[in-house]
Amino acid sequence: MNPWQALERELDLWPAPPTMWWRDDDAIAPTAALERLLTITADASIALQLAVIPALCTTALAQRLADETDVWVLQHGWDHRGYAAPGERKRELGGPRPRNEILQQLKRGRALLAQQFADRALDILVPPWNRIDADLLPALPQLGYRRLSVLGPRPAEPTDIGRINVHIDIIDWKSRRFAGEASILQRLTGHLEARRLGTVDASEPTGVMTHHLDQDEDCWRFLAALTDRLSGRVRWIGGPELLEA
């Protein structure tokens, strides 16, 4: 059975189409790659969530998105700089920095996005590299965030702040190339199956993570194939619905 057939077989076992959502990271300006992404998602009537880097975001991006009706903005940290302590993996939100400095930057970023994107900006924080130090989490709701989005199934038990995670990364970051159809589809099918069997939180929509600026041709081809294959088989959600999912 090829991986597409395995995915279809899994979808056949769902009594109603499972929910999914799409998060794309690192947007700061309109580019040819962003246009390509907007075309793919609009053609498939899929809501698109752009994790935008506040400190680097251009007014041109806000202008470009002004007339889009189903493109939403999430906050991608502040400036996407790495501050990890020696031996730690890359992170912006944590490491050895003073907590107050991190929280002040987040607050500034949130205000900036609200100003540029108005109600298109959702109170969802996407930490760069999907990492945030645990001691920062209790402060997030006070800053106004309603959801945190990192990589992997969310915890089954309630946490400091609600999660709306992604589960599928289409890039292999060691080679910075397409991660390969078989492994991506296995992950997708695996998350759907785990939801169906209740070994992860069944109500968490399966999240696809893309990076429009880093994608090679194989990535783009795959995304076109994926939206096509999933058409009518899953329910893509987005926008404010993510705050309740």
**Binding-site ranges for Zn ion (CB under 5 A):** 25-26, 128
**What is the closest distance, in whole angstroms, from the C-beta atom of residue 157 to Zn ion in the complex?**
27
**Count helices and strands in the chain by DSSP H and E runs:** 7, 11
Q: Phi and psi (nearest 5°) for 236?
A: -75, 125
**What is the closest distance, in whole angstroms, from the C-beta atom of residue 60 to Zn ion in the complex?**
19
**What is the closest distance, in whole angstroms, from the C-beta atom of residue 102 to Zn ion in the complex?**
16
Q: Which two tokens stand for residue 69?
A: 């009706």
Q: Would you say 18 or 77 has its CB closer to Zn ion?
A: 77
* Residue 81: closest CA among 159, 26, 119: 26
Burial bucket for residue 85 (CB in 10 Å: 0-12, 13-18, 19+): exposed
Q: Which two tokens stand for residue 221?
A: 């081809």
Q: Would you say 10 or 92 has its CB closer to Zn ion?
A: 92
**What is the closest distance, in whole angstroms, from the C-beta atom of residue 25 to Zn ion in the complex?**
4
Residue nearest to Zn ion (CB): 25
Q: Would you say 26 or 204 has its CB closer to Zn ion?
A: 26
**What is the closest distance, in whole angstroms, from the C-beta atom of residue 163 to Zn ion in the complex?**
17
Q: Would you say 6 or 213 has its CB closer to Zn ion?
A: 213
Q: Would you say 93 or 230 has its CB closer to Zn ion?
A: 93
Residue 215, C-beta contacts closer than 8 angstroms, at least 6 positions apart:
33, 170, 171, 178, 223
Residue 167 is given by DSSP the state: -
**What is the closest distance, in whole angstroms, from the C-beta atom of residue 127 to Zn ion in the complex?**
9
Q: Would you say 223 or 230 has its CB closer to Zn ion?
A: 223
Strands 168-169 and 162-163: unpaired
Instruction: List, in sequence order, every beta strand (DSSP E) within the chain.
Output: 19-27, 48-52, 71-75, 121-125, 147-148, 162-163, 168-169, 171-172, 177-178, 206-210, 235-236
For the chain, how many residues are written? 245
